[in-house]
Amino acid sequence: MLYHCGDESAHDRRAGTPAGRTLQDLSILSERIVIIKGAYVNFQQELQTALLAVRKASTLCASVQFSLITSDTLEKKDRSPVTIADFGSQAVVSSILADSFADDPLVGEEDSQDLEQNPDMLDKVFSLVREQIPGINKENMLHAIARGAVEPDYHGRYWTLDPIDGTKGFLRKEQYAVALALIEDGEVKLGVLGCPNLPLDFSDPEKGYGCILYAVRGEGAFMCDMQGENSTAIHADGNVDSSTARFVESVESAHSAHFVHAKISAALGITSEPLRIDSQCKYAAVGRGDVSIYLRYPKDDVYREKIWDHAAGLIVVEEAGGRVTDIFGEPLNFTLGRTLRENRGVVATNGALHDHIISIISELQQSR
DSSP 8-class letter at 339: B
Cα first-last separation, the chain: 53
Q: 319, 330 in Cβ contact below 8 A?
A: no
Contacts of 208 (CB under 8 A, 6+ apart): 11, 13, 199, 200, 225
Beta-bridge partners for 232 = 223
Enumerate the H helices of 163-294 as residue ranges: 167-171, 258-268, 281-287
Q: Reply yes or no on whether 271 is catalytic.
A: no
DSSP string, 243-271: GG--EEE-S--SSS-HHHHHHHHHHHT--
Q: Give CA angle at 230 (47, 202), nearest 5°.
A: 105
The bridge status of strand 247-249 relative to strand 293-296 is parallel
Distance CA 44, CA 277 (A): 31
Contact predicate 274/246, CB 8 Å: yes
Catalytic residue (choose from 167, 278, 290, 325): 167
Largest CA distance in the chain: 61
165 in active site: no
Alpha helices in 22-180 (DSSP H): 44-68, 71-75, 80-100, 113-116, 119-132, 138-146, 167-171
Question: Do β-strands 13-14 and 346-349 pair in parallel, antiparallel, or remain unpaired?
Answer: unpaired
Which of 86, 165, 237, 278 is catalytic? The answer is 86
The number of beta carbons lying within 10 Å of the beta carbon of residue 352 is 19
Closest Cα partner for 177 from 169, 165, 168?
165
Cα gap 356→337, rounded to integer Å? 30
Burial letters 306-321, b for 16+ CB under 10 A, else e: bbbbbbbbbbbbbbbb
Query: In whole angstroms, what is the distance from residue 137 CA to residue 144 CA?
Result: 11
Q: In whole angstroms, give the CA distance from residue 346 to residue 356.
A: 15
Name the residues annotated as catalytic. 86, 167
